[in-house]
Chains A and B, each alone.
Chain A
Amino acid sequence: MSDFAASTDPTSLTKQSNFSRIALRWLLYVLLGVFALYYLMPLFVMVTTSLKSLEEIRTGSLVSLPREITFDAWATAWSGACTGIQCEGLKPFFWNSIQLAVPAVILSTLFGALNGYVIAQWQFRGANLIFSLMLFGCFIPFQVVLLPMARVLGIMGLAGTIPGLIFVHVIYGIGFTTLFFRNYYVTVPHELVKAAKVDGAGFFRTFWSIFMPLSLPIIVVTVIWQFTQIWNDFLFGVSFSQAGTQPVTVALNNIVNSTTGVKEYNVDMAAAIIAALPTLFVYVVAGKYFIRGLTAGSVKG
């Protein structure tokens, strides 16, 4: 009915502009669609390649769907692919990454929460200077600490171990986690701490019963940020681990860039997807918090 009303519009001018508006609208959606395809294409190629046989990869096309779906490449990537001399697939390294990421995320978040609470609510002389020093520390290129850290880990007896990697990730994660919590707690009125003090609540009591219950959103943001950073890390992983303690990203790179034997592209792609699954899952489930962490880490600097 409304179509009819539109077509009997008295002036041809509005008809014209109506037409061009619809055309523009179409153009907009086509453009957005093309960009969506551009971002999705590598994922599509990864998934389809991982489901093809090596024979089909050689004879078929990169962008075609698999003629016959096979999960062999996934099985190999998980438990048979060679990462150097070892041929146990990604499984042990995936487990390493979990053992590494879980404590490192928990510890760095905990430190960040306490530091942020102190800096935002218990202002003392020098607190701002300390905060600035921590903030600058977030931005150093880690190359500048690799050599001394390798020596210090050696002295501490943690060289090439997972606890050593946890230590490194906690140290260099504290800057960001402190930033997140500080910026969150700074919006809480100081009267709250004063009132708690009057009621006889001390430092930790106030933190635990007043600030913690308020903190769920920022905890989620921080945990997601830290988890993504640590899971995806490669530089620390490759510098401070040894055969057997490598995180999943290092193992993936070893599988893909190993020069021995036939190049199994389907296994490479399956391995890449396996390594990406945990962070992709977090992104899909809690994308809102992921984006908040990204923008908080960069804009609110």
Chain B
Amino acid sequence: MSEWLERHVPKMVLAPSFIAILLFVYGFIVWTGWVSLTRSRLLPKYDIVGFIQYDRLFDSPRWDTAMNNLFIFGALFIVISMALGLLLAILLDQKVRTEGVLRTIYLYPMALSLIVTGTAWKWILNPGLGIESVIRGWGFESFRFDWLVNPDFAIYTVVIAGVWQASGFVMALFLAGLRSVDEEIIKAAQVDGIPTVRIYSAIIIPSMAPIFLSAFIVLAHLAIKSFDLVIALTGGGPGYATDLPATYMYALAFSRGDIGQAASSAMVMMMVVFAIVVPYLYSELRAKNV
């Protein structure tokens, strides 16, 4: 008996977590998927009627704006964060004496809550008292910077704040990557008189392809889940101008009481995330098991 117990203890220790994940992750996904196929409004109903919620979703101009914003925000956020992160990593890699201090400064925003980041940038970008008034104070009386309240540009303020928060993290990833490139190859290239720019563009950066991929995955994942930043910075406004799928889902679930719509939008978000993450995780896990 005690031998049997001893043999099965590992499974029994893992079981609660496994059951919890099965239930609260996969079970819940099934539940949300199911409800997204019903006519649920304020309360969930369970008779499947087909894809009407998705039809409503794709017909909704607000969802359209949210998906467009996700595309604009996601693309700019990822590209700028990666470019800035790579630039900072290369600059820091030049045997800079104050590297430790600078790294700490570049990365600290990552320790902040997005609500804090949003609050800070909301104040800085405030048209009346923020940057606009600073630059006007320097003599440029006609300077205008009202992106925060301008429906056509408000989404770019989310990009500004998002990049500020995440680029230091990309820098840390890339810096670790730069440091892991074989020193011997670089030394050999230097001996051969190859200019530094070429060494980076032809040797070091291509060898960091996997790090580009993981930086991309992490940033894309952050972009799709972005919720707090928009809430704190613009509240989704002006109007719906800066809505993202995450804020749309929340609004329909908790303020509009439209569970069917909320469920279908959540399912679309999940599919977007999985389209990006699943191939990546699959290849990672396979590589590990071989």
Contact = CB atoms under 8 A, between A and B. Distances in A.
Interface in B23-48: 24-29, 31-32, 35, 44
B209 interface: no
Interface stretch (A11-19, A157-165, A210-218, A274-282): A274-282
Contacts of A1: none
Contact of B129 (A40, A143, A265, A276): A265
B246 A283 contact: no
Interface stretch (A2-10, A58-66, A68-76, A79-87): A58-66
A146 B164 contact: no
Interface residues of B, number: 98
Contact of A45 (B117, B120, B250): B120
Given A58-B129, A253-B232, A145 B28 contact: yes
B114 A202 contact: no
Given A45-B120, A276-B113, A301 B280 contact: yes
Interface residues of A, number: 91
Interface stretch (B52-60, B146-154, B187-195, B210-218): B210-218
A39 B109 contact: yes
Contacts of A269: 119-120, 123
A137 B18 CA distance: 11
Contact of A234 (B110, B231, B269): B231
A115 B14 contact: yes
A180 interface: no
Contacts, number: 262
B133 to A, nearest CB: 7
B249 interface: yes
A291 interface: yes
B186 interface: no
Interface in A248-274: 249, 252-253, 256-257, 265, 268-269, 271-273
A84 to B, nearest CB: 15
Nearest to B177: A299
Contact of A144 (B13, B228, B270): B270
A133 B14 contact: no
B9 A290 contact: no
Contacts of A41: 124
B111 interface: yes
A252 B137 contact: no
B105 interface: yes
Contacts of A239: 250, 254
A146 B107 contact: no
B173 A295 contact: yes
Most buried by B among A62, A175, A249: A62
B235 A295 contact: no
Interface stretch (B73-81, B199-207, B258-266): B258-266
A195 interface: no
Contacts of B280: 301
B225 A142 contact: yes
A234 B228 contact: yes
Contacts of B217: 298, 301
B134 interface: yes
A112 to B, nearest CB: 9
The 3 A-B residue pairs with the shortest CB-CB distance in the complex, in nearest-first order: A232-B113, A283-B111, A122-B10
14 contacts: A118-B14, A128-B289, A134-B21, A136-B281, A143-B250, A143-B270, A145-B24, A146-B266, A149-B28, A203-B10, A234-B227, A235-B227, A235-B250, A256-B119
Interface of A: 28-29, 31-32, 35-36, 38-43, 45-46, 49, 57-58, 61-63, 111, 114-115, 118-119, 122, 124, 127-128, 130, 132-137, 139-149, 151-152, 171-172, 174-175, 178, 202-204, 228, 231-235, 238-239, 249, 252-253, 256-257, 265, 268-269, 271-273, 275-276, 279-280, 282-284, 287, 290-291, 294-295, 298-299, 301
Given A202-B9, A256-B119, 19 more contacts: A28-B96, A35-B106, A42-B117, A42-B120, A111-B17, A133-B22, A133-B25, A136-B278, A142-B225, A143-B250, A146-B266, A171-B24, A202-B6, A232-B112, A234-B227, A249-B115, A272-B120, A287-B104, A299-B176
